[in-house]
Structure 1
Amino acid sequence: MPLREILFSLIQYPLPHHALSRLMHRLTRCENRAFKNAFIRQIIKLYKVDMAEALQPDPGAYPSFNAFFTRELKPDARPLCPDPDAVLCPADGAISQIGAIEAGSILQAKGKSYTATELLGGDPARAAAFQNGKFATVYLSPRDYHRLHMPLAGTLREMVHVPGRLFSVNNATARQVPNLFARNERVVAIFDTEAGPMALVLVGAIFVASIETVWQGVVTPPAGTTVRSWDYRDTPIKLERGQEMGRFNMGSTIIVLFGENTVGWESLVPGDKVKMGGKLGRRAPTAVVSP
């Protein structure tokens, strides 16, 4: 298995990540009925997608594969944890890693880590709020619901688009590619919450043709070559706990960051399955901070 993982990761280095993702972008938006219906049926069969949860359960009713992939669920499909102090899971998926940010370092996989500064676009001041805080990394597979939601109510402070590569973000690649999540293209959204600053990092991956947010729409593509940032402090955007904040057009990973002594995680370990709206952790009693 390690040799297979090594080969799988090595073969990704020379691939034209963005060109392949642009091709996937076009294919997933193709509205040819025969093509998109065959594509959708194959994914449902291969990944055992539960269409009974979808607001539109008929696969043929979706105008494109991307419309199916980012499908809306029935209103009662993901009930929010009733505990008012619960930190909600932002997405369906599986825990990749979860724990403490130690001296600015975030665990990627056994023996591999990256820094909060690298993840958030290279600005030490931006990362300072999360020094010695908490992180949770959630991996979304093709079978999962691909809309992303707020763990806590928050006011958007800043959004950052960080260009990068588009390696796969599955567990095999995470174990082999150094600085994977700080190397891939990503969109960072930083909110002020009752538990202090919260960062939601939407990490791109191979074939993830687009990342979008509810306030900006499509952020990438285009990929660009320089870090872009948007400051919202003069034009507040407030999102409620559990409200949709963005989506992946194809699957990927979301990373949640909080500051020191603000939240405590549930007893979750890598590989645990999670659902959007479930209890990821709990706000610390002493963590009430005015935004």
Structure 2
Amino acid sequence: MNKRHITSAVSQLFGKFANKEFPHWFQKIVNYSYVKLMGLDMSEFHDPGTYKSLNALFTRKLKEPRKFSLDAEDFIAPCDSLITECGRLIEDYALQIKGMRYKTDNLLGKNFTQAEKDYVHNGEFVNFYLSPKDYHRYHIPMNLQVLKAVHIPGKFYPVNIPSLKKRLNLFIENERVVLLCKTQEGKYFYIILVSALNVGVMKVSFEPRIQTNADAEEEQVYLFENLYLDKGEDFGCFEMGSTIVILAQEDMLELLVKENDKVKFGDTIAKYNSK
């Protein structure tokens, strides 16, 4: 068995601490300290002292559902995040951050056919960075069908702005879960969950067999029949902040956001072209 990367060991160690349920008095200190240190806005959530572990605080759910547009043409943000980059793919090249590009064919891994990878060539991409203070759950951006999920083991390098600027192919090196999705009109796009340092787990609620930051060394493929998810549906969470990348078929999305925009889950970030 190959020796696991140090970033994986660090993330696992932090995960054990975050999952530990300390005595209530001490857990309150941990939780309130984290909220103050990171500057969390808890106005939409329960009191920090009510969460039984730091991880329960990380993966907190909204007290009340957020409202968002039900118009089929409105493509919504899947998470609370910073748009670190977005725009048009040049063939299969996307920007990790300004001045640093990578090949999306490599990001998608070896378990998608070239035809499946070609779906998004010359299309649109959006990179969503979730900081440690953000709401860590992710949601479905439009009504869709999930065709395939691929878990790609990898490293756990930080994905914050300084790291994006200094490490080429960061998204490709890190562990990720890639979802191939299809719209009702037959257009294709990908939702890619990218790990980061201290992100011990990326949860995918509709496929509990996906176990990230585990002992898997080979890509794992999951195929689905008749798996339809609705816009706004909660489909999992990061345990700590990380990144989501969306890659869309050419002429599918007209982006309404730009680099450095701060968005919240439910905001309309693009117009969907159904034709």
Deviation sequence 1:86-106 (CA, Å, 0-9, x none): 111000011010111111001
Asked whether 1:245 is paired with 2:235, we answer: yes
Q: Which residue of 2 aligns with 1:89?
A: 77
Q: Which residue of 2 aligns with 1:289?
A: none
**1:139-288 pair list within 5 angstroms:** 139-194=129-184, 196-217=187-208, 219-232=211-224, 235-266=225-256, 268-286=257-275
Checking the alignment, whether the CA contact within 8 Å between 1:30 and 1:36 is kept in structure 2 is no
Whether the 8 Å contact between 1:120 and 1:126 is mirrored in structure 2 is: no
CA distance in 2, matches of 1:270, 1:95: 5
Structure 1 residue 113: Cα displacement: 1.0
Distance in 2 (alpha carbons) for counterparts of 1:194 and 1:43: 42
- The Cα shift of 1:74 comes to 2.3
Q: Name the residue aligned to 2:47.
A: 58
TM-score of the superposed pair, with normalisation by structure 2:
0.92
**Equivalents in 1 of 2:26, 2:107: separation in Å?**
37
Deviation at 1:220, TM superposition (A): 0.8
Query: Can you list the C-alpha shifts for 1:249-274, whole angstroms capped at 9, x where unaligned?
Result: 111000111101111100x2222110
Q: Is 277-286 or 164-173 further displaced after alignment?
A: 277-286
Gaps of 5+ in 2: none
In structure 2, relative to structure 1, the CA distance for the partners of 1:68 and 1:108 (3 Å cut) is same
1:281, 1:69 → 2: CA distance?
28
Secondary structure at 1:60 match in 2: helix
Q: CA RMSD in A?
A: 1.7
How far apart in 2 are the matches of 1:182 and 1:211? Answer: 16
In the alignment, the residues of structure 1 paired with residue 168 and residue 92 of structure 2 have an alpha-carbon distance, to the nearest angstrom, of 16
CA contact (8 A) 1:117 1:126 kept: no
1:139-165, CA deviations, whole angstroms, 9 ceiling, x for partnerless residues? 001111111011111111000011111
Amino acid at match of 2:251: N
List structure 1 runs of 4+ shifted beyond 2 angstroms: 33-39, 81-84, 122-126
What SS class does the counterpart of residue 241 from structure 2 fall into?
Answer: coil
CA contact (8 A) 2:72 2:272 kept: no
1:223, distance to aligned residue in structure 2 (A)? 4.6
Describe the shift of the 1:42–1:181 C-alpha distance in structure 2 as closer, same or farther (beyond 3 A).
same
- Give the TM-score normalised by structure 1: 0.87
Q: Distance in 2 between matches of 1:240 and 1:279?
A: 15
Does the residue aligned with 2:43 lie in a helix, a strand or coil?
A: helix
Who is 2:22 aligned against? 32
Would the alpha carbon gap of residues 58 and 23 (structure 1) be closer, same or farther in structure 2, given more than 3 Å must change? same
3-state DSSP class of the match of 2:211? Answer: strand
Question: Secondary structure of the equivalent of 1:224?
Answer: coil
Structure-1 separation of matches of 2:139 and 2:42: 20
Q: What's the counterpart of residue 64 of structure 2?
A: 75
The one-letter amino acid of 2:10's match is L
1:236 aligned counterpart, secondary structure: coil
- C-alpha deviations, 1:54-83, integer Å up to 9, x for none? 1xx22121111111111111224x211243
Question: 1:61 and 1:199, CA in 2 relative to 1: closer, same or farther beyond 3 A?
Answer: same
TM-superposition CA deviations, 1:204-235 (whole Å, max 9, x none): 00000101111113531315211111111xx3
Q: Does 2:109 correspond to 1:121? A: yes
Letter in 2 for 1:213: V
Deviations for 1:155-202, whole angstroms, at most 9, x for unmatched residues? 110000111111100011111100011111000111111361121100
Partner Cα separation in structure 1 for residue 47 and residue 262 of structure 2: 26
